[in-house]
Amino acid sequence: MASQTPRRIRLGLAIGFIALCLLGTISARITAQDPLTRFDQSVLETLHRESSPTGVGVATFISRMGSPMMMTALAFAGALLLAALGEWVVLGGWAAAFAGASLIDHWLKLTIHRPRPVYAAALLHNPSWSFPSGHAMGSLVGYGMLAYVLMLLARGKRDTQRWIAAAAAALIVAIGVSRLYLGVHYFSDVVGGYAAGLLWLSACVCAVELGRRWERRALRLHPTG
């Protein structure tokens, strides 16, 4: 029954559905040369005109916070911590989140085949396809899962949980903006990355919540000791 489904799982499913619709809409529009592509070009040119060496340096630093190397380091560090704590259900969701995000990003890039903006060549030595932004998707999944785990550890501390969520959101947005400022992605690439990341993050969090619920039920039915 719907009333028996935890509120967080229902919310996660709703968010995932909205993210899927957004991802599908953006993907269809950029492949059909929709007016969205003209908006992308306008944003790109505006940011390029306003860029400065200092701004590029700051944006490069922020961008590195969402790089594949940073996400790999975060994935391994989090996995070691969760294993040490014996949080096996959460560890499974953690591993699936990072591995799945990488695979989905790679698959979408190969499927859409969107070329990078012209300014990307100056910064990227091994350019790949542009849609979606891997930094946007990876940071949303990686820092989103980190925030979820930290909020689980801070259960009952509402103010702490709010600060965790706000800090993660600010960092994720900053990484997406940095990719636009550097001219390596279009606006719709970043939004598409967020949509894909939100879809996968919601799926992983829902799976963890269900797993933890089943684990608690099993412990009640078969208590140890």
pTM of the predicted protein model: 0.88
Q: What is the mean pLDDT of residues 95-117?
A: 93
Q: Which domain holds residue 59?
A: 2-221
CATH number of the domain bearing residue 43: 1.20.144
Report the pLDDT value the prediction gives residue 33, as an integer from 0 to 100: 67
What is the sign of the dihedral through the CA atoms of 201, 206, 211 and 215? positive
| Mean pLDDT value across residues 137-150 | 96
Q: In whole numbers, what is the pLDDT of the chain averaged over residues?
A: 88
pLDDT tens digit string along 50-103? 889 999 999 999 999 999 999 999 999 999 999 999 899 999 999 999 999 999
Total number of domains constituting the chain: 1
Say yes or no to pLDDT of 8 above 90: no
Contacts of 24 (CB under 8 A, 6+ apart): none
Write down the pLDDT at residue 199.
94
Length of the chain: 225
